[in-house]
Structure 1
């Protein structure tokens, strides 16, 4: 038996599931947020804190768990994180107050972040120079979860109550643990005994951020996901509360919007070796800003409507689907010797954007769609501006790898 795992479809399928776990955990419960507030007698809008708390823990945890996996290996950190995820999800099922539910979500975020950051690092370990398309495929899995989970969550909430989506997340978590225990061997071939030590952590991250391209990609990712998260977190109240859709109808509508994420990610997966990540990020940022500004203009001119809100957001999700995997690949690929560190920071950047967006949305909530629409536009414009201002212009964008033979290894 080969001492380290080789590229295979079965391993890639596990990594896709791990990458999607965090989104599954969030998207499944979004249709039930209103019901959770009612049952736990919490103030309207307080459930948004459960989303923001999860995202904050999800992002901060990656700053530590990624480097820790560079030091002691991917497998022990991944298994420990998944076990924490299971305990936290079980706690959510038993929670009797909103404060307890939010605390459980924080712990769940810590566990889920291990799945995401380790999946990205494992892709770099195993696929090595051909990791770009594989990373894009894992993001496609995450985006499929964003598209399908709200539908499933809405149906489960309708027929099984607010605990049913959480119970499904628990079952998926158990399946992930079993798959990792049975099918994944350690893939980190160069353990770094100094990685993860607090004395070196800050200097290592500072070294990463010295690269202008890394800063541009991280900020573009953070702001793009902030723009998307404003709609992810706010859409339930707008579509169900203001436009009168049922939870199941909301799930179908939301899935139709975010299906463009998958189309964008497929474009990246197929063209990243030819175009290079930075060019794709630039195209994606233009689409995100265009869609968000169109949403704002339509809202100001014609008010809130189902089509006026949904159609322009397809451009946002199409651009986001292109940008997310390209930004991650562009940051992780040049840092093979510290893939956990780079993947951890990009995960943190993504979740930092979502956390800022979610907190602002909660603070600005006024019962209308205005805060969601404005934040969506502001973050989208910030993503475009940050990337254009910070990306290096002294050289042409280099493709990750010439040729298309890498697809055969997937």
Structure 2
């Protein structure tokens, strides 16, 4: 069950970055530049963020299973459109369809975890899903590079379509519906708007949710700037770049598994505050450490270690009070995460600084704001 939830959470993150190594091949095939292909990422993020706002309330009304399966089917359709695209607008359209489908699995993996677990068990389940969401972007460039070099860039979309189909079958046979009919809420446009308004002004959700989202924004800023820093700056080969990217996932994996154990001993709030403090220290070290591969790697490791502890616990703290609104609360959290990711990537690209320095500035600003938000709120212990 936990592995299935992790896979559902990871699918969107996998689809986000898997095409990055294939940009040269796609550009040559479609006769467009890499700068033009950036629209395939921005369009994906926008559709992903907005789609979540509808998926959450719909799942609270109609149940999780219907939305998960519809989302996976939509994702497969979008992937097929991408695989058969002959122009950039067709590819962008396919990416939008992909995002509208896969946003359901990302949102509902958290909502399903909230349906099934409480307290420490919820933190444990969310730790695994957060690890998967952080690990997938790390491994996806390596997988995308291997598929592109062996079978062509279109093969990446066929592979992730097959993965989505397998997940649908496993979901039907092993999990099924988790949101009981007697716990479902009524659905109306006014009710949805009122529900989101209530959540936005509820500091039990917004303080930890915004804190987690700011950290996620810093993580995606690293993903977007990594090629310029590692390939152009440190002269890593594409293979070495993929291996470095993949190695970062082990840091997140280890800290994510450690988080619930620390929370059992020290409490989730205390442990989460320690995690965000560690991530903040890594961000500061990256900014002042200088442009050297060793210092960059050490600073990044510190940031990822703290992030791996903070994110699952912060997410659990945010969702714990909202059993009856788990879908909407998870959707709002996902919207904030994608919004912060888009903002961090945009700001990093606009800074007239070397990529390494720009990343340090974005990370430090994101983590400082996250720490201030999380530490300033009175949260239950």
The verdict on a shared fold, with TM-score over 0.5 as the criterion, is: yes
Q: Are 1:106 and 2:81 matched, yes or no?
A: no
> How far apart, CA to CA, are the structure 1 residues paired with 2:371 and 2:57?
29
Return the match for 1:175 from 166, 171, 183: 166
> How far apart, CA to CA, are the structure 1 residues paired with 2:154 and 2:207?
40
Q: Are 1:237 and 2:228 matched, yes or no?
A: yes
Uncovered stretches (5+) of structure 2, i.e. residues with no partner = none
Alignment of 1:120-135 (within 5 A): 120-129=110-119, 130-135=121-126
Return the match for 1:317 from 281, 304, 307: 304
| Aligned length, in residue pairs | 379
Q: CA deviation at 1:128?
A: 4.2
Q: Are 1:56 and 2:43 matched, yes or no?
A: no
Return the match for 2:273 from 282, 292, 312: 282
> How far apart, CA to CA, are the structure 1 residues paired with 2:116 and 2:204?
24
Does structure 2 retain, via aligned residues, the 8 Å contact 1:52–1:359?
A: no
Q: Are 1:155 and 2:155 matched, yes or no?
A: no
Return the match for 2:184 from 192, 198, 201: 192
Q: CA deviation at 1:365?
A: 7.7
Q: Which moved more, 1:207-216 or 1:360-369?
A: 360-369
> How far apart, CA to CA, are the structure 2 residues paired with 1:258 and 1:53?
26
The two structures, once aligned, show a CA RMSD in angstroms of 2.3
> How far apart, CA to CA, are the structure 1 residues paired with 2:68 and 2:275?
31
Q: CA deviation at 1:248?
A: 1.8
- Give the TM-score of the pair, scaled to structure 1: 0.85
Q: CA deviation at 1:205?
A: 1.9
Alignment of 1:19-58 (within 5 A): 19-58=9-48
Q: Which moved more, 1:277-286 or 1:59-68?
A: 277-286
2:331 corresponds to: 344
CA offset digits 1:369-398 (Å, max 9, x no partner): 443343233222222222233x11xx7x42
1:75 corresponds to: 65
Does structure 1 retain, via aligned residues, the 8 Å contact 2:206–2:318?
A: no
Alignment of 1:249-288 (within 5 A): 249-288=240-279
Return the match for 1:89 from 67, 75, 79: 79
Uncovered stretches (5+) of structure 1, i.e. residues with no partner = 1-10, 399-410
Cα gap change, 1:21 to 1:381, in 2 (>3 Å): same
1:294 corresponds to: 285
Q: CA deviation at 1:136?
A: 1.6
Give the 3-state SS of the residue equivalent to 1:244 in structure 2: coil
2:347 corresponds to: 360
Does structure 1 retain, via aligned residues, the 8 Å contact 2:84–2:154?
A: no
Cα gap change, 1:32 to 1:376, in 2 (>3 Å): farther
> How far apart, CA to CA, are the structure 2 residues paired with 1:34 and 1:89?
19
Q: CA deviation at 1:80?
A: 0.7
Does structure 2 retain, via aligned residues, the 8 Å contact 1:295–1:312?
A: yes
1:307 corresponds to: 294
Q: Are 1:329 and 2:313 matched, yes or no?
A: no
CA offset digits 1:37-86 (Å, max 9, x no partner): 34433334333332232222222211210111010111111111111100
Give the 3-state SS of the residue equivalent to 1:325 in structure 2: helix
